Chains A and B, each alone.
Chain A
Amino acid sequence: MSAPAIEILGLTKDYPVGFWRPKMRRSLDNLSFEVLDGEVFGFLGPNGAGKTTTMKLLMGLIFPTRGTARVRGRSIDDIKMRAEIGYLPEQPYFYDYLTARELLDYYARFSNYSASERRERVGKNLERVGLGAASDVQLRKFSKGMLQRVGIAQAILHDPPVVILDEPMSGLDPVGRREVRDIILDLRTQGRTVFFSTHILSDAEMLCDRVAVLASGKLQGVGAPREIVTMQAQAMEILIEAREGCALPAALAGQSTRIGPRTRITVPEQQLYSVLEQLRDCEARILSVSPVHPTLEDYFFKLVGGSAPERGLEEISR
């Protein structure tokens, strides 16, 4: 088993809310999990779940109320840790009076590269995110998608072993999303660890070795996308042709969909045999019985569907 690239150990974050007599509200509650070295790890959850808070805690932009975290064995309080991380903030915004090339050159200076190394890296990474032609355009003229790409370029500029991306697909058109997916896959091929948050579950399902689902600041589950969805009770789908003049039992009518002469019935796995008995009684012709494979989206909505962010914030009495 690989060593953890990121260890999150009981991270808790409370924020004061209100001006006069502020009350503390918990936005992250005793969060613990590990991201293994070399894996692509998705961080899923609705708005206000605490994803960005977690990433900001990792980057030292905010400070935990309790708990800590380590990146490649180094505490998040250790500034040297940041040399090993590339970070893309949510909805990034950069110095708009600079060109893309100047911005990357500026960031590269914090990695102590020589002028020729900086030039080479900047050019290579701008090409990599598809901004080669716009290198010398001021960022104030960039679209949201272009800014997102500049953000990714600055995050991977110094070839960090761990890349943390907060909503990297946000604001991108389908072509841009595909390019970001390719970059993430490319990073995995190079053996780098990618920890990214997203709302786009199909991307997470396609890219991630493992995912964590967060809701209301609490961890709901961690695992491989396929593994995590099968942790839920399976449903079975039965395809039948009902005999002329024979109606389905009333209990099954609510679970069935008619498609021409055929009827599709979806039932929980544990009810399968009793339903088959009922179908035999009405002499229906059973065409197929197959398991329904839940998607990550099904799992996600089942977990967080009723969790609005406002309700998710837990008030703490002090």
Chain B
Amino acid sequence: MSATIGPVAVNTFREAVRDRVLYNLVLFALVMIGAAILVGQISIGIEQLVIVNLGLTAISLFGLVMAIFIGVGLVYKEIERRTLYSLLAKPIHRWQFLAGKYAGLLLTLGVNTAFMTLGLAAAFFYVGGRVARADVSIVVAIYFILLELALVTALALFFSCFSSPMLSTLFTLGIYITGVFANDIHEVGEFTQNSAVLGLTRAIYFVVPNFHNFNAIAAAGHGDAIPFSLIWQNTLYATLYAALLLIAAAAVFSRRNLK
């Protein structure tokens, strides 16, 4: 199994590297350098808080942009350019191809996030940060960002199996934004007296992936501890949801005619 998924994943990673996708790291580095210099001049006593907040937000945003914009083209581009034809003529199942593409993009996002984390650490130490026990929450926040990216990538890949990149971007972004506000939408429904609205908001709350729970940036900035139960719940939630999306993507893609 890994003999077929592995090469596809490595090739997807190689494509991202050769298409200079990781050049976004240069932009990230510039943001962090600029922020570190600016923060040192305008904030007193909260430099580390500002740097951690800014750095984690940038890591999340850069990752999201990559996950969505590369993810929506993962399958579509291969069909449009007909690169898929020669590959699927080899003894490889379509679901293995999808799993390989997914793993390849996760690898790219992982490497990207790792470099950005190093950049954040450099900026953190530059503004006088010292490693403390509470800083473990920064690592957890980055882990949550990775889980969020894994889920967004699965969403983008799912849509990429049957729609154009533009529509897939709209669908993925729409679901992501809805998911970020999932808790608020649920509360609005609970306040209303209308049973139809309540039913709709509940349906959204339970069906759309809840991205709100993956945001631990504020807690990390203030050095607040993140409960261990949230870590495993988020891990399980992201894993199961992404697996379901990949299974659905494989079911759609397995019967698709490649015209």
Residues of A in contact with B (beta carbons under 8 Å apart): 15, 56, 59-63, 79-80, 82-83, 85-89, 91-95, 97-98, 106-107, 109-112, 151, 154-155
Contact = CB atoms under 8 A, between A and B. Distances in A.
Interface residues of B, number: 25
9 contacts: A15-B259, A60-B88, A83-B91, A88-B86, A89-B85, A93-B83, A106-B11, A107-B87, A110-B92
B14 A62 contact: no
Contact of A63 (B11, B92, B255): B255
B7 A87 contact: no
B84 to A, nearest CB: 8
B258 interface: yes
Contact of B86 (A80, A83, A89, A109): A89
Nearest to B78: A95
B82 A89 contact: yes
Contacts of B87: 107
A134 B88 CA distance: 25
B14 A97 contact: yes
| Majority DSSP secondary structure for residues of A touching B | mixed
Given A83-B91, A87-B89, A106-B7, 18 more contacts: A15-B259, A59-B85, A59-B89, A61-B85, A61-B257, A80-B91, A83-B90, A86-B89, A89-B82, A89-B85, A89-B86, A91-B82, A92-B86, A93-B82, A93-B83, A107-B87, A110-B3, A154-B86
Give me the 7 closest cross-chain CB pairs, A-B, nearest first: A87-B89, A110-B90, A97-B18, A89-B85, A62-B257, A109-B7, A61-B258
B7 A110 contact: yes
Interface of B: 3-4, 6-7, 11, 14-15, 18-19, 81-83, 85-93, 255, 257-259
Given A56-B258, A62-B258, A97-B18, A112 B3 contact: yes
A56 B91 CA distance: 15
B254 to A, nearest CB: 10
A63 B90 contact: no
